[in-house]
Amino acid sequence: RGIEEHELREKIPPADVYGISATTPDYNMALIVARLIKENHKAFIVLGGPHVTALPGTVDEIFDKLVIGEGELAIINLLKDLKDGIEKRVYKFPLVEDLDSIPFPSRHMLPFDSVFNHKLVTPGVPATTLITSRGCPYDCSFCASKKMWGQPVRFRSPHNVIDELNHIISSYGVKEFRFHDDTIGVNKKRLFDLCEKMK
The type of residue at 95 is L
Q: What is the mean pLDDT of residues 109-121?
A: 90
Task: Verify cis geometry, omega within 30 degrees of 0, for the bond prior to 152.
Answer: yes
CA distance 82 to 180: 32
Output the CA torsion sign for 86, 44, 19, 167.
positive
Please check whether residue 61 is in contact with residue 45, taking contact to mean a CB–CB distance below 8 angstroms.
Answer: no
3-state helix, strand, coil in the chain (%, to 5): 40, 15, 45
DSSP state of 7: H
Note if the pTM is more than 0.75: yes
Q: Over the stretch 18-75, which tens digit does the pLDDT of each residue have?
A: 999 999 999 999 999 999 999 989 999 999 999 999 999 999 999 999 999 999 999 9
The pLDDT value given to residue 173: 93
Q: Over the stretch 176-189, which tens digit does the pLDDT of each residue have?
A: 999 999 999 999 99
Phi first, then psi: give them for residue 184, nearest 5 degrees. Answer: -65, -25
Q: Over the stretch 146-169, which tens digit does the pLDDT of each residue have?
A: 888 888 899 999 999 999 999 999
